[in-house]
């Protein structure tokens, strides 16, 4: 038995807890209210501080804002995701940069030769995907910090999205995330979460 | 040019922004102050609400608390991580459960046959790793929400950690995270973050 109410164990105030986690919900429809570049920049400038291994920061984002770009993206989504991408004010293609090591002389400057060592490391693509996925978690929290709803989606043709939006280089598409204010009937019924005892074992 | 200060674009209050992102730092040493089971439960009960694909929730955690368990973990860490794991009040082995589909009849109840379909899906291990990595991002934010510092590490012998702590089953070790109050000289100099223009492209 706990002896304190759980919220007293968290210095983060309850309004923030609700905004980021408890009240926040994945949105499946959006109002027409725009999400500005300034809002997206504020989100990035907050979540960029969260940690990655070797400060690698492999997250890259293509912000799909123009109707023309959106029209190219919609058919690459799984059928169940097309209508909501078509209607969202802003959609983010979230990618992992397998060539993150090119930035290491700047981002991890104290380790001599780190760029060359990582260039030769066959684990680099997996490291890019792993750390960009962690950063996707931060990004979803950051979208909520801006008072916006996120609608992250894994159902899309990743190879086609990469060809159409990410060049022929080192960027792997890991998710597509709608961003905006929730519209009518935006939320499905909340599904159950696993209990603490199902997730955490203490040894 | 932005016309508002970035913080005005974020409804999340500045104290919370600092606690979770701007002032929070990866800690490399810890005080002896314990991290209680109640604190860990409060962290989990907050971050469990953040989204995963199909509500899959593949995150699993082994909380290493006893001196005996810690002694088994230390030699499985990369050399540069051993002293800090030896000294942390609590260390979390973060894992991805490739058999998350066993819970889908409860966690994703509206889709008939989802457990069987996912059981036959060869993409299941990758889906487990991807979503548990996103949840690792949430977990690090949650540790900070509890006023604690996280020290996430990727340098360890994953196969050995799985053998020693995760049984012979479907759990893959993806990270090891120290948790506690920062100790003396806990923080390295903060490394630079990539700028918005290096990360975000708008189309």
CA angle B107, A140, A166 (to 5 degrees): 110
In angstroms, what separates the C-alpha of B113 from chain A's closest C-alpha?
A: 16
Domain count, chain A: 1
Q: Is B143 inside any structural domain?
A: yes
Closest CA to A26 of A151, A203, A185, A117: A151
Interchain pair B106, A152: CB under 8 A? no
Answer whether residue B166 shows pLDDT above 90: yes
CATH number for the domain harbouring residue A68: 3.40.109.10
pLDDT digits (tens, 9 = 90+) for B79-134: 999 999 999 999 999 999 999 999 999 999 998 999 999 999 999 999 999 999 99
What residue spans of B37-123 are helical by DSSP H? 37-47, 67-73, 79-87, 104-107, 114-119
Residue B170 in domain: yes
Q: Across the interface, which of B44, B49, B140 has its CB nearest the CB of A199? A: B44
Q: What is the pLDDT of residue A5?
A: 55
Does A17 lie at the interface with B, CB-CB under 8 angstroms?
yes
Mean pLDDT for B142-170 is: 96
Determine, yes or no, domain membership for A4.
no
Confidence bin at B77 (pLDDT 50/70/90): very high
- Yes or no: say if B151 and B179 are a contact pair by the CB < 8 Å rule: yes
The answer as to whether B135 is a domain residue is yes
Look at residue A69 and tell me if it is in a domain: yes
Q: Domain range holding B117?
A: 31-182
Using CB atoms, pick whichever of B10, B63, B133 lies closest to residue A134. Answer: B133
What is the least distance, in Å, from the CA of B52 to any CA of chain A? 8
d(CA B80, CA B154): 11
Q: pLDDT tens track of chain A, all 203 residues?
A: 444 555 479 999 999 999 999 999 999 999 999 999 999 999 999 999 999 999 999 999 999 999 999 999 999 999 999 999 999 999 999 999 999 999 999 999 998 999 999 999 999 999 999 999 999 999 999 999 999 999 999 999 999 999 999 997 999 999 999 999 999 999 988 999 999 999 999 99
Q: Is residue B200 part of a domain?
A: no
Residue B93 lies in a domain: yes
Q: Is the ipTM of this complex over 0.90?
A: yes
Indicate yes or no: CB of A198 within 8 angstroms of CB of B103: yes
Give, in order, the Cα–Cα distances in Å from B61 to each of B74, B171, B176: 17, 10, 9
In a domain, B106, yes or no: yes
Decide if B118 contacts B198 (C-beta within 8 A): no
Evaluate if residue B7 carries a pLDDT over 90.
Answer: no
């Amino acid at each position: 038995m706990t002896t304190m109410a759980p919220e007293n164990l968290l210095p983060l105030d309850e309004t923030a807890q609700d905004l980021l986690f408890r009240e926040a919900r994945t949105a499946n429809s959006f109002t027409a209210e725009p999400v500005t570049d300034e809002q997206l920049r504020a989100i990035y400038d907050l979540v960029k501080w969260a940690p990655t291994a070797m400060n690698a920061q492999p997250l890259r984002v293509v912000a799909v804002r123009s109707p023309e770009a959106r029209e190219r993206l919609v058919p690459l989504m799984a059928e169940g995701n097309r209508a909501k991408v078509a209607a969202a004010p802003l959609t983010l293609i979230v990618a992992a940069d397998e060539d993150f090591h090119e930035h290491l002389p700047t981002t991890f400057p104290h380790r001599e030769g780190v760029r060359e060592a990582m260039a030769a490391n066959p684990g680099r693509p997996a490291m890019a995907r792993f750390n960009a996925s962690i950063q996707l978690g931060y990004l979803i929290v950051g979208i909520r910090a801006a008072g916006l709803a996120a609608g992250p989606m894994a159902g899309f043709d990743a190879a086609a999205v990469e060809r159409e939006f990410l060049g022929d280089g080192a960027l792997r598409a890991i998710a597509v995330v709608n961003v905006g204010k929730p519209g009518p009937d935006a939320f499905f019924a909340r599904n159950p979460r696993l209990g603490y005892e199902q997730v955490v074992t203490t040894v």
